[in-house]
Amino acid sequence: MTAAGKKAESSNAARLLILQNMVPLATNLVSSQLEGFSTRLADELFKLSDQSIRPDEAKISFEAHQLVMRNSTAFYRLVAGQINAALSKEVSVFNTKKRTRRDDAQLDTTAQTYEQMEAKILLRNASQALEVLNAEPLVLLNTLIGRILNRMPIDVSQNPFRPEIFVDAVHRAWIELDPDPATHLLVLRLLQPSIFLQLTPILEEINEELMARGIHPESEIASESSHAGATYLPAQKFFSLDPYLQDKLRRVFSGQIELAHSDPHFDLHSLAQVSDTLTNQLDLEADEEDADKASVDQHFFADLLEMQKRIAQQETTHAHYESRLHKVLHAGSAQKLSVVERNTIELLARIFDYIFADQSLGDDIKCMVGQLQIPIVRVALLDRDFFFRENHPARILLDMLGNSGILLDQEASESDPLLGLIGDVVERVQTEFDEQIDLFSDVVSDLESYLKDEEQRAQEAISQPVQTALSEEKMRIAREFAEHDVAIRVETGEVAGFLEVFLQEQWIRILTIAHSVKDEKPHALENALKTMDDLIWSLKPKNSPEERKELISKLPSMLTLLNAWLNAIRWDEPDRVLFFSKLAERHAAMARAPLELSPRRQLEIAVNIAQRASNRRLDRFAQEKVVQEDDEAMKQVAALETGMWLDFNEEDGQVTRFKLAWISPKRSSFIFANRLGDQAFSISAADLEARYRSGTATTLLANSLIDRALTYALRDLAI
């Protein structure tokens, strides 16, 4: 066996040992819960026997209840043994290759009895319910196991500690305890989350133990740096390679086809057409390698390392960018590379061609990316997951560099400390990278730390504008409530014309204040609304002596409250005198009116009120009809999220770039700021919609740079 083979075997054994060590831990944690689980199951069986309307089910349930109560110790032993055996088996056969989907196996109905089919469906349903309940620790465990295997997070169907294993083991333990088939499906139906073992503490303990052994979730990098997870980077539109493109990638790395190698001025539109007959396995090329392949790799890697050092020493310019990787394939040591290795280099060459042709990237960023070509080739040859994992650290670094082009101030980029840090990162990769891919995780962490600190300072810088905007929104919402309070009263048609003007111009101001302080002073709003209602009532026709007497008795207190509120808003204009003069005239006219209004007069008044109410409703209906329906601009504003970057075109033709730093709770106000937060401004939703309609505001959606490059490089490759 070669040294590389021994190393791989040793590595696989070490990984398997880590997982095997988790089995007794899980079994012990299960054992500590068995008494409680057994009690819950027995209670549920007794309840079912008591409530079931089917005599046979009631009898079977009661007998099962008694069986658990009489044989609790044996049940504990059987459950612990079955779970230990099931977990040990799962870990022993566990590998990194794609597994058959468990759901497909469970739904296989060939040569099965009805009871077997029902058992599979019940097992699946119980497992899925537990997966939902334990989603958070399961996802973390999927990630940690993927980290152990040096690959992306595994699927829950591949997790040897998934809920399905526990449910199936408990069911098998019951079958062993009670051979009577009549109870088997009955008990399986009862294995619901409220009765079953509590898996969350078990999974959490496994996670903690793995992390204590130095295995940490790589998602800490990916979730914040890859897709819209970090507010200090441009918000990214959801993007992933579609299944056709993923299949193309697998074919490229199957070793069965070879990409056409192109000249230094490669045209991305002309990719070779290939046959569509072949497998998507990624490790087929191993059997085709020559006996002296290891020495060829060493020679080629030595040439790459030498080229990397030369590029690091060269002075870079912004004159012209082209991929250096096309030349790599012409090196003498590259002639004996496998098809897969040549495909890897060719695909990377096309990716870098796309990056250098991307007009959205500035020269500074292209210069930095260009210096990473050789290190990225070496990474991809060592770890082909670079092409398949969006959270691969080297891929994250390239994406961060691409997104940094949006953050950098184009006018002053030479003095921008972020650009200086990126330069340091690139230099470190060039000079230090050998074969330890963890170096990329380190430099990504450094870059992220800087951006997080910068983001925190920016958030502190906009704290005052945020407080101002919150106060303004609170008053704006209070006024909307106030306008509604007045509108529903005016719409009845019973409000006199001069009073309607007064309510809309002055009382709305009072109600706005009352609504704004209703949490601290709820009685203020009640008082303001009652005063308004009393005022409106006081001007309605009084058809009986009793109503007139009531008016006279209420007027003094009502007028006192009315003046107090008007003093609060400091309404001292001459219009106030005119208003009270008209009010006094109306009240006096009511007091001098005939004792009884004739039926005819009462009918005329009612008809006039109904007519005014109808006109009000028609006016409101007409206004609602002319309200602009949701257009594209409104949809764009509605889709905005904190962290997105926008370009604003000013009247002088200058384009300024700002980040959406804050959105008010009601989305009526938006605060934008530059990267450092020292230039901030607030804009209303309506004004922002108008900017979108006029084309003077545009959203910058930053898809992953490598995703875009891969899509473009593979788009003409036939499946």
- More confident of the two residues 106 and 326: 326
Question: Amino acid identity of 428?
Answer: R
Q: How far apart are CA 45 and CA 47, in angstroms?
A: 5
pLDDT at 687: 92
Query: Residue 468 above 70 pLDDT?
Result: yes
Buried b / exposed e over 335-345, threshold 16 CB at 10 Å, is: ebbbbbbbbbb
- CA distance linking residue 328 with residue 310, whole number of Å: 13
**Band of residue 219 on the pLDDT scale cut at 50, 70, 90:** very low
- Residue 641 C-beta-side C-alpha neighbours within 13 Å: 12
Residue 583 region by backbone torsions, left for phi larger than 0, else alpha for psi between -120 and 50, else beta: alpha
State how far the Cα of 196 lies from the Cα of 191, in Å rounded to an integer.
5
Region 393-410: mean pLDDT is: 80
Backbone angles phi and psi of 667, in degrees to 5: 55, 30
Range with lowest mean pLDDT among 5-14, 482-491, 571-580, 693-702:
5-14
Which tokens in the block code for residue 412?
């002053």
What's the confidence (pLDDT) of residue 511? Answer: 93
Are 377 and 328 in contact by the 8 Å Cβ rule? The answer is yes
Is the per-residue pLDDT at 10 higher than 60?
no
Pick the CATH number of 632-702 from 1.10.10.10, 3.40.50.720, 2.30.30.140, 2.70.98.60: 2.30.30.140
Give the DSSP per-residue string, 130-189: HHHHTHHHHHHHHHHHHHHTTSSPPPGGG-TT-HHHHHHHHHHHHHHH---GGGHHHHHH
Reduce the DSSP state of residue 689 to 3 states and report it. Answer: helix
pLDDT at res. 476: 87
More confidently predicted of 350 and 416: 350
Q: How far is CA 454 from the centre of its chain?
A: 22
Q: What is the pLDDT of residue 104?
A: 43
Per-residue pLDDT at 297: 63
Closest CA to 259 of 170, 353, 343, 165: 343
Summarised one tens digit per residue, pLDDT across range 162-177 is: 999 999 999 999 999 9
* Mean predicted confidence (pLDDT) in 408-433: 78
Mean pLDDT of 422-445: 85
Tell me: pLDDT of 609 over 70: no
Considering only residues 607 and 503, tell me which one the structure prediction assigns the higher pLDDT: 503
**Domain boundaries, given as residue ranges, for the chain:** 3-220, 293-461, 465-626, 632-702
Burial 201-212 (b: 16+ CB within 10 A, else e): ebbbbbbebbee
Stated pTM of the model:
0.51
Kind and range of the H or E element at 526?
Answer: helix 522-538
Q: Rounded to an integer, what distance in angstroms lies between the CA atom of residue 703 and that of residue 719?
A: 25
- Residue 326 · residue 264 · CB < 8 Å: yes
